C-alpha cells in the first residue's frame, strides 16, 4: 500500500469477526489471534488486528475500501497492560467525556496504582515498536505505540483477561524470536543489564541522554538494568575486572569508544575471561566525542546510525616505495587528476623475481595535533592464503573486486606471483574503498605494506586523504 495507516488508539467494540484465526495458505503467515476494533471518533472505520508469526497486521476498513499495514515482530520491543488514570476533580459541571483519541490525551497507570480509575472497566494493551524509516542518509527508527482498548465486558477482570491473552501471545513470539539468537535476551533469563555511563562524554550530557532516550526503552521492553556512573578514568575497567559480572546478561556502555575499550580490557584481565566473553554481550550507546566504533557497527548491520558510512574522500597525495629485490627500478605509482574532487591511482611495476608468499599489512591512522594515531583498522594477512581461499577477509572482499577491475592484464592478482609486468590503471580513489566503516571528519594516512615471509619489502604505499563529512573527534578526549 502506498498510503500508510495512521496508528492511534483502537477501541475494541462488540463487532463480529469475519476472519478465521488460522490460514492454510502456504504463502501466508500463521494467525494466532484476531479481533476487530473500531475508532470511536470514526463510526464507519474498523480495524481488523491480527497477530501473526511476522507481527501485527492492521487491516483498515472504511466506506467499502480497505488498507493493510504490518508492524514487524522484529520492530516490536515489548507490550504492557495498563488501566486508565483517575482524573483530578475539576469545577466542570459535566462529568461525562468522550473516549480520548490518542495516547497524548489518555493517562494510564499500572494495575496496582492508587490512582487508577475504577469507573473505567476497560483494559489497555500498549504495544511498543521502533520502526525503521529509511531516508537518503540511511534511516532512523521511529517510536510507534499501538494502543488496543478492550471493553467488550462489563467487568474489568474480564476485559483484562482478554488483554493479557494478547500480551502473553506477543511476549511468547518475542521470546521465541530472541531465543533463536545466541545472545538474545529472553524472559526466562532475568539477569540484569549493567549500564556504565561516562557523565563527561561528549558535551557532558550522556547521563541525561540515557535517562531521556534509553531508559524508557528498557521500561517498555521490561528489561531490568543496573546503572553505574563512572567516577574516574579506568573506573569501568576496574569494575569489570574485579566485580561479579556474571549476574549480568549484557554490559552496555553509554559514552565514547574509549569507555567501550575500558570494558574490553577489563574483561580480558579477568582470570575467567573466556567464560566472561562467551556469556556476556557488550553494547555501546554512542554519546562521546569519538563514536567511530558504534557508527561502524551500526553500518555493518545496516542499522540506523545517525549518519551513513563516509560519503566523500579527497585524496591528497601518495608516497610509494618498492623492494628492489623483487621489483624493477622504474616501478611507479601516481595519482591521476580526473576532476576537482575525483582522483585515481595508477601503479606500474615489473616483477623480476617470483614471489611465493606475500604478507599484507594495512593500518589506518588519524591525524591529531600531536601526530598520527592508529584508528580502527590494523590488519595483517597472508595474501596467498586469501587468494587461495584459505583465509577469509571481509575487507579484502570489498577492495579486491575494485582492484581486479582495473588490472591491466588477462588474469587477476594471484599468489604465488610470477615474473612479469604488473599494472593497475586508474583505480578510483573514493569512499567505496571504505564503505565498511564510518570515518569521522579529519585527515588520514592509510599505510599499505607487502613483504615476503622473510620480511623482504615488496611494496609500501602511504595514502594521505581528507574526510569532510563525518563527525570531528577531539584528540584530548579520545578514549573517554
Q: Exposed/middle/buried for 434, CB within 10 Å: 0-12, 13-18, 19+?
A: buried
| Domain spans of the chain, in order of start | 10-179, 192-288, 314-476
What pLDDT is attached to residue 6? 46
> Backbone dihedral region of 363: left (phi > 0), alpha (psi from -120 to 50 degrees) or beta?
beta
Distance, in Å, from the CA atom of 212 to the CA atom of 230, rounded to the nearest integer, reads: 19
Fold agreement between 192-288 and 314-476: no
| Residues 6+ positions from 161 with CB-CB distance below 8 Å | none
CB 298 within 8 A of CB 305: yes
Q: Is the dihedral of CA 100, 101, 104, 106 positive or negative?
A: positive
Q: What pLDDT digit, counting tens, does each position of 23-59 carry?
A: 445 557 788 999 988 775 666 678 889 999 999 998 8
Cell numbers 586508474: residue: 426
Q: What pLDDT digit, counting tens, does each position of 264-299 carry?
A: 999 999 999 989 988 999 988 888 766 667 766 766
Which residues does residue 62 pair with via DSSP β-bridges, in sequence order?
45, 65
CB 351 within 8 A of CB 419: yes
What pLDDT is attached to residue 247? 94
**What is the fold of 314-476?**
Ganglioside M2 Activator Protein; Chain: A, (2.70.220)
The reply to whether omega before 416 is within 30° of 0 (cis) is yes
Distance, in Å, from the CA atom of 258 to the CA atom of 201, rounded to the nearest integer, reads: 10
pTM of the model: 0.58
- Parallel, antiparallel, or unpaired: how do β-strands 138-150 and 123-135 relate? antiparallel
Give the mean pLDDT per block of 10 residues along the chain (480 residues).
46 43 58 83 77 90 81 92 74 36 59 77 91 69 88 91 94 81 56 92 83 91 93 94 94 89 91 91 81 68 50 72 87 76 78 83 80 79 82 76 66 66 72 60 84 88 75 34
Distance, in Å, from the CA atom of 123 to the CA atom of 156, rounded to the nearest integer, reads: 7
**What is the fold of 192-288?**
Rossmann fold (3.40.50)
What pLDDT is attached to residue 237? 95
Q: Which three cell numbers stand for residue 75?
A: 520492530
Residue 179 in 3-state DSSP? helix
- What single DSSP character describes residue 78? E
Amino acid at each position: 500500500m502506498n498510503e500508510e495507516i495512521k496508528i492511534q488508539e483502537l477501541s475494541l467494540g462488540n463487532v463480529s469477526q469475519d476472519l478465521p484465526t488460522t490460514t492454510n495458505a502456504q504463502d501466508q503467515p500463521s494467525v494466532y489471534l484476531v479481533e476487530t476494533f473500531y475508532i470511536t471518533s470514526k463510526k464507519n472505520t474498523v480495524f481488523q488486528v491480527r497477530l501473526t508469526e511476522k507481527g501485527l497486521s492492521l487491516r483498515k476498513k472504511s466506506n467499502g475500501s480497505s488498507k493493510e499495514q504490518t508492524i514487524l515482530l522484529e520492530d516490536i520491543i515489548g507490550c504492557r497492560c495498563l488501566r486508565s488514570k483517575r482524573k483530578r476533580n475539576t469545577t466542570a459541571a459535566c462529568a461525562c467525556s468522550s473516549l480520548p483519541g490518542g495516547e497524548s490525551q489518555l493517562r494510564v497507570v499500572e494495575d496496582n496504582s492508587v490512582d487508577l480509575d475504577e469507573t473505567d472497566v476497560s483494559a489497555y494493551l500498549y504495544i511498543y515498536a521502533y520502526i525503521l524509516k529509511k531516508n537518503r542518509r540511511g534511516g532512523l527508527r521511529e517510536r510507534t505505540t499501538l494502543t488496543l482498548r478492550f471493553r467488550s465486558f462489563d467487568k474489568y477482570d474480564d476485559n483484562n483477561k482478554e488483554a493479557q491473552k494478547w500480551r502473553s501471545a506477543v511476549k511468547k513470539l518475542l521470546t521465541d524470536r530472541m531465543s533463536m539468537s545466541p545472545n538474545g535476551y529472553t524472559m526466562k533469563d532475568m539477569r540484569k543489564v549493567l549500564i556504565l555511563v561516562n557523565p563527561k562524554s561528549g558535551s557532558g550530557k550522556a547521563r541525561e541522554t540515557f535517562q531521556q532516550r534509553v531508559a524508557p526503552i528498557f521500561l517498555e521492553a521490561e528489561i531490568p538494568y543496573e546503572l553505574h556512573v563512572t567516577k574516574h578514568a579506568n573506573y569501568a575497567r576496574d569494575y569489570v575486572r574485579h566485580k561479579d559480572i556474571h549476574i549480568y546478561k549484557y554490559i552496555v556502555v553509554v559514552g565514547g569508544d574509549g569507555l567501550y575499550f575500558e570494558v574490553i580490557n577489563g574483561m580480558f584481565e579477568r582470570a575467567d575471561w573466556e567464560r566472561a566473553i562467551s556469556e556476556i554481550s557488550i553494547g555501546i550507546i554512542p554519546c562521546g566525542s569519538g563514536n567511530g566504533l558504534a557508527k561502524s557497527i551500526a553500518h555493518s548491520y545496516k542499522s540506523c546510525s545517525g549518519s551513513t558510512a563516509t560519503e566523500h574522500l579527497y585524496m591528497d597525495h601518495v608516497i610509494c616505495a618498492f623492494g628492489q629485490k623483487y621489483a624493477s627500478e622504474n616501478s611507479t605509482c601516481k595519482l591521476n587528476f580526473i576532476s576537482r574532487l575525483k582522483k585515481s591511482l595508477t601503479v606500474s611495476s615489473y616483477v623480476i623475481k617470483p614471489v611465493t608468499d606475500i604478507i599484507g599489512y594495512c593500518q589506518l591512522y588519524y591525524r591529531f595535533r600531536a601526530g598520527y594515531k592508529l584508528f580502527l583498522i590494523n590488519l595483517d594477512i597472508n595474501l596467498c592464503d586469501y587468494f587461495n581461499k584459505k583465509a577469509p577477509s571481509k575487507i579484502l572482499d570489498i577492495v579486491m573486486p575494485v582492484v581486479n577491475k582495473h588490472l591491466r592484464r588477462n588474469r587477476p592478482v594471484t599468489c604465488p606471483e610470477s615474473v612479469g609486468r604488473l599494472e593497475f590503471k586508474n583505480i578510483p580513489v573514493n569512499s567505496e574503498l571504505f564503505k565498511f566503516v564510518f570515518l569521522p571528519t579529519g585527515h588520514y594516512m592509510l599505510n599499505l605494506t607487502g613483504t615476503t615471509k622473510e620480511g623482504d619489502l615488496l611494496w609500501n604505499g602511504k595514502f594521505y586523504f581528507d574526510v569532510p563529512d563525518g563527525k570531528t573527534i577531539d584528540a584530548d578526549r579520545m578514549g573517554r
